[in-house]
Chain A
């Protein structure tokens, strides 16, 4: 028991366990350290993904070959996609902020299975290493696109096998995180913290965890089948042997569409924490926000077919998938209305996280509405596989999850590191990033409607001006990203000491010290009858 007392004196950053230095981190079962391990690995992979994105945009600066051949371009967008999807946005918010904050938000000392939590991170690293192996070694970088569509994925000469296995392992890591969170939320809530008092971020993690658990195995088995197809020629997706490549697409999207809700739900949860804190007002429509979270998690399962409207599907199936796609937009809209209504008549405290949250709502709205253009049958045929899809996808996933991630890091940064960042630089970084984002992706809507296909290294001369603007935007965005990154890294080491509750938040993480002690709480808190997560009175 002496250990426990020693533990509460030091915070989790300085605590000295059995291992020293780096080992004390990579072998730590503390949920906060694991959260930071994820943060550093994800930011590293994100930076690599950004570099690949910049390379692609540079190639598209002018028609014809600019800096790379078609084959290199194919490999670049494949690796960009695999990294950004499987290593950045899917683990993203749950693995970093879920790990760090969820146990504190529910008044627990750790997740239910701390060792399993560490195993998840190690599996993540293993998955990353496997994918990097595919890129660096063998005859050719994977060039199938991140979707590994059959039959090309087992016909291509590129070194695809390790990439597919890497994606499988990353999926397994994601499943274990989800499982851990579900059990934690069910079993470790502190006394008095009923389901109707859970912070909304925890609720979205709960919904996300169910999707992680129930959708990921399907893509797992699909990737195994692709691997077996490559090695043994089983025939399951090979038309030459009687298999059906369209079936591959179905199985792939049964996971990969719900996966976009794995990306966006925790992002919405983080925004639902930030908006009330900076409006200094109770969240509007707490129950509606929970209901919409669970509705998205549920209906999100049933819309995968809208990725395949042009792939060959019965008309009846198309109508249903299109209708369900429209239905899933409703709970998302409910959330937007609730956030706006929370701001209404609030005492708004304009800080960096609120800038990010507000711009999140803006880009999410455009991304969501452009999604309806793709969900409607007639217009989808026109813009399918054009730059319009790329623009929509990046508005939602980068503008949604990415902006929410930056909102979250600026919101919880003082809690995580116990230091405050430079607010002027943070705001400058946000503004440049936001302008760059708009310049980068908005022209792609236009280019797509005009008919510029995606995934080509070349384009017709008439698309030149739009592409120049887009490439220019990518440079502005990268500049903003560098400013944000430098500011955060510098402040984590040298920033002024932060208070326990700099934003006057009402959730439990703001009641513990900054940075939190190893065991989070000296005593497990008890939530009173009339107390709640957003009790602004």
Chain B
């Protein structure tokens, strides 16, 4: 899309990209905010059922995933520092680790969902509709929607980081033009932060 003299003329403004990213993060927070409202309302209406249903979830996998995401947040934060120190190799290494951790998170999620499916629990499943109370149906509905949407954000975040990684390899992201990597980091922290809320809401509060 470089057809205009225009784009060539666009100056590099790291501050602008960062403001843009923060604004986008606001919108993401509000997107999940809508879901958190729905969750709170139904939890308030069905405290017993939410309590019961939460026992169905595997806390161990949830805890492991929480630790994984926290570590990945650390590695991506370190990568922005190493980039400033002009250690290209270390930056690429740290980003690769971040991506691998993200993928492990998704694999865990896959198995976690898989077990639910084996037990016959998925939105609209016969077992769920027949043998569970309305509150529990809502709990699992929200569980699948919210963790599913979060997993989608993990995937977007991974693509974003991969994109930054390629650009670092090519040298178009460097210590002087680091905004894209920093934005990938901000986005990844957001994804991490949302999980920090999802984990207690679904797994821990019983």
A contact residues vs B (CB 8 Å cutoff): 3-4, 6-7, 15, 17-19, 24, 27-30, 109-110, 112-115, 118, 175, 179-180, 182-183, 186-188, 213-218, 220-222, 224-225, 228, 232-236, 241-244, 247, 251, 254, 518-519
Q: For residue B148, which residue of chain A has the nearest CB?
A: A228
**Known interface pairs A179-B20, A225-B38. Does A28 touch B3 (Cβ–Cβ under 8 Å)?**
yes
Question: How distant is B204 from chain A, measured CB to nearest CB, in Å?
Answer: 22
CA distance A517 to B59 in the complex (A): 62
Question: How distant is A102 from chain B, measured CB to nearest CB, in Å?
Answer: 15
| Residue contact B123 to A518, C-beta cutoff 8 Å | no
Q: Could you list 14 A-B pairs, sorted by A, with CB under 8 Å?
A: A7-B4, A17-B5, A24-B3, A29-B4, A115-B7, A216-B27, A232-B122, A236-B138, A241-B129, A242-B133, A242-B134, A243-B42, A254-B34, A518-B6
| Residue contact A232 to B7, C-beta cutoff 8 Å | no
Interfacial chain B residues near A118, Cβ < 8 Å: 1
Tell me if B170 counts as interface (CB < 8 A to partner A). no
Q: Provide the main secondary structure of the chain B interface.
A: helix
| Residue contact B27 to A175, C-beta cutoff 8 Å | yes
| Residue contact B4 to A30, C-beta cutoff 8 Å | yes
Q: For residue B5, which residue of chain A has the nearest CB?
A: A3
Interfacial chain B residues near A222, Cβ < 8 Å: 34
Q: For residue B37, which residue of chain A has the nearest CB?
A: A251
Q: Provide the main secondary structure of the chain A interface.
A: helix
Tell me if B119 counts as interface (CB < 8 A to partner A). no
CA distance A530 to B68 in the complex (A): 58
CA distance A29 to B8 in the complex (A): 11
Interfacial chain A residues near B6, Cβ < 8 Å: 7, 29-30, 109-110, 114, 518-519
| Residue contact B123 to A244, C-beta cutoff 8 Å | no
Q: Which of B9-17, B88-96, B108-116, B156-164 interfaces with chain A?
A: B9-17
B contact residues vs A (CB 8 Å cutoff): 1-10, 13, 15-16, 19-20, 23-24, 26-28, 30-35, 37-38, 41-42, 45-46, 122-124, 129, 133-135, 137-138, 141-142, 144-145, 149
**Known interface pairs A217-B28, A228-B145. Does A7 touch B34 (Cβ–Cβ under 8 Å)?**
no
A-B CB pair tally, cutoff 8 Å: 144
| Residue contact A187 to B19, C-beta cutoff 8 Å | yes
CA distance A179 to B17 in the complex (A): 11
| Residue contact B142 to A114, C-beta cutoff 8 Å | no
Interfacial chain B residues near A3, Cβ < 8 Å: 5, 8
| Residue contact B27 to A241, C-beta cutoff 8 Å | no
| Residue contact B19 to A19, C-beta cutoff 8 Å | no
Interfacial chain B residues near A241, Cβ < 8 Å: 129, 134, 137-138, 141
Interfacial chain A residues near B10, Cβ < 8 Å: 110, 114
Interfacial chain A residues near B144, Cβ < 8 Å: 232, 234
Q: For residue A187, which residue of chain B has the nearest CB?
A: B16
Interfacial chain A residues near B4, Cβ < 8 Å: 7, 15, 17-18, 28-30, 518
Known A-B contacts: A115-B7, A225-B38. Give 10 more (CB < 8 A).
Answer: A4-B9, A19-B3, A213-B23, A215-B30, A217-B31, A221-B34, A232-B123, A236-B38, A242-B46, A251-B38
